Amino acid sequence: MSKDINKSGFIALIGRPNVGKSTLLNYMLGQKISITSHKPQTTRHRILGIKTENGVQAIYIDTPGLHSTAKNAMNRYMNKTAKNVLHEVDVVIFLVEAGCWTKEDASVVDKLKQVKAPVVMVVNKVDTVKDKGDLLPFIKDVSGQYEFSEVLPVSAMNGEGVERLEQIVADLLPEGPALYSEEQVTDKTERFMAAELIREKLMRTLRQEIPYSLTVEIENFELDTSGKKEILNIGAVIWVERPGQKGIVIGKDGENLKSIGKQARIDMEKSFDHKVFLNLWVKVKDGWSDNERILKSLGYNDEGC
């Protein structure tokens, strides 16, 4: 651990689904740690992103989007994961979408009332607002929803306001030594990241509701050093809930599965710095998303920070 670190702590990224939490985390870290898509519920797990810079170690926790209703075991798992994090951090960043306040945002505020840590509101996606004059009344309105430490407009997509946000976070963090090595950027394994990268491509490729009915399990993750070049052999199962969904994932003549595999492999080779040989299979596990026992067997375990 570095002796040069004088401030460190945990920061939760909280908000309803699809407000840009994962995009913000990736921008701050300068690399992809948390998968993204335009679909809600892309993030299902607690993802740790560690940034060590200028005497500060900021440990960001990306969380699943908080839902006002939890229809099945998967939704309940995601809500519980996000809510547990709130009580175990030093700072909370609450993200909302510029110009768009919903009942789910108000529901998150209700949960924040039980939090002791300072809360910074981030009004994200300001780059999508055509008339910037509309921002001021919106920010004034949402600022009154809670006693926020700061309210800051940002764009996680292009970085507008992000440097200022990081400075605000650094000022709020307690004094203390580094909790992780300076080189570490996440607590997740390459095996976990491989599954997430495949799921990201599924979320982005499939336009139907099916992305919410699938998950990915890594069955094989081995480095082959026998040849001239080291090759990372990865085998993964894409689990769906109904037989009809299997055909949608595979696509006509296997086109969807081939495209998903190619996209995932390219990202894996960038992330793991190895040539990757990827095998994908699609299998049916009836009702997996509403079965707590099956969820745990697939790696959806209760997590804190």
CA separation for the pair 233, 77 (Å, rounded): 31
Q: Which two tokens stand for residue 43?
A: 């993030």
Q: Which helix (H) or strand (E) holds 199?
A: helix 190-205
Q: The domain 190-297: what is its CATH number?
A: 3.30.300.20
Higher per-residue pLDDT: 39 or 229: 229
Confidence at residue 164, expressed as pLDDT on a 0 to 100 scale: 97
Q: Is 61 exposed, middle or buried (0-12, 13-18, 19+ CB in 10 A)?
A: buried
Phi-psi region of 91 (alpha: psi -120 to 50; beta: other; left: phi over 0): beta
Do residues 268 and 50 lie in contact, with contact meaning Cβ atoms separated by under 8 Å?
Answer: no
- The interaxial angle of helices 255-272 and 243-250, nearest 10 deg, is 70
DSSP state at residue 64: P
In angstroms, the CA 258 to CA 256 distance is 5
Angle at which helix 255-272 crosses helix 190-205, to 10 degrees, equals 140
List CB contacts of 167: < 8 A, sequence separation 6 or more: none
Is the model's pLDDT at 302 over the cut of 60? no
Q: For residue 60, which of 105, 122, 102, 18 has the smallest C-alpha distance?
A: 122
Question: Quick one: pLDDT band at residue 209, thresholds 50, 70, 90?
Answer: low
> pLDDT per residue over 71-93, tens digit each?
677 777 676 777 778 888 999 99
Helix axes 73-86, 103-112, angle to 10 degrees: 40
| Average pLDDT of the segment spanning 190-204 | 92
Taking CA atoms, 271 is separated from 47, 61, 103, in Å, by 16, 20, 37
- Class at the top of the CATH hierarchy for domain 7-172: alpha beta
pLDDT at position 3, please?
Answer: 62
Domain ranges of the chain: 7-172, 190-297
- Span 168-183, pLDDT tens digits: 999 999 999 999 999 9
- What pLDDT does residue 194 have? 95
Confidence of residue 33 (pLDDT cuts 50, 70, 90): confident
User: Residue 87 gets which letter from DSSP?
Assistant: T
Is a pLDDT exceeding 80 seen at residue 151? yes
The whole-chain average pLDDT of the chain stands at 88
pLDDT of residue 304: 39
